[in-house]
Structures are given as C-alpha cells and as structure tokens.
Structure 1
Amino acid sequence: MKHVSLLTLLLAFAGCTDIPELEGKEAPSIRNAAYPKLVPLEETLGTPVDPVSEASEVEEELTSRSEELAKKAAALQAAEIN
C-alpha cells in the first residue's frame, strides 16, 4: 500500500512539470523546407521474394553446413591424442 501512495505522489508531481514549447524553435531552413517525395514501397524494397524458394535455399545451406560439421566432429572423435 505504501508503494501505491508513493507512486501516486510521483505521478502527481510529474503532472505538474512544465514542458517547454517546441513551436518556433526549428531553424528557418527546416521550417521552409519542402516535404520529401513519397516513393512506393515496392520501388524501395525491390521485387518480393518467394518465401518457399528462400526457405528451401536456407534449408539446403543449413543441411550442407550440418554435414560438414558432422564430418569435422567425426574426424575429431577419430583423432588420436598423444
């Protein structure tokens, strides 16, 4: 209960805070600047990727990496320590 009253008191004090006005604080060059040109998202991102083919490529890559790691592990297991 003590924490709730402390939180309420802190929120009440936060509500009394003066927040400075931002109107008129920007530079004249920004105030008079033109809006940026809007570009369709497709032009920015490029052609959409087929998720099925991308998933198969990733799966093939991970499978080959897994096989290479398994070969390395087998070679380490077979290595004789002197």
Structure 2
Amino acid sequence: MSYQFNAKDVLVTQLGEEGVAFNSATNEYFSLNETSYKILKGIENNTPVEDIIQQLEAEYDISTEECSQAVHNIIRTFIEKKLVVEA
C-alpha cells in the first residue's frame, strides 16, 4: 500500500526534533512527536513505507514487526485526520 501526503490542505512545520501539522480544510492543528514527524515527512517526500520502517527500525533498534505495526498505526491516524490519503 502506498500513501500520498495531502499537500493541498496540509502544512507541516518542524519544531526542533518534533513538528506541527495544520489541516486548512478542517482547521485542526496536530502536534507530532519526533517519530510521527519523520513518518509524515517521509510520506511527503514519497519515501516508500518499507523504507521509512527500515530507517526507523535502525534508528530506534526495534524489531521489524514492532516498527511496522507502529508505523501503520500512525499512518491510520494520519488518514483519519486527512493528513495523508491512500494512493
């Protein structure tokens, strides 16, 4: 499955290691921790989800299964909040 960043409605700003996303269509702000910011930026940069998982797995020294599950949970939240869409 691939995902596309909702560039039409969403602005993302980095704040230190974390970030903030604003959806202009829903007028909602979202605080992003370091990990969720990296995932959203990866999707915005058209990085395949498998590559995002590998990068985070190496950085945080966690299992592929645990990392994959966490990344997909965050992506589901992004979809619900209309920050990304399924492509």
Structure with bigger helix share is 1
| TM-score tier after normalising by the smaller chain length | under 0.3
By relative contact order (CA 8 Å, sep 6+), the higher-ranking structure is 2
TM-score by length of 1: 0.25
TM-score by length of 2: 0.23
Structure with bigger strand share is 2
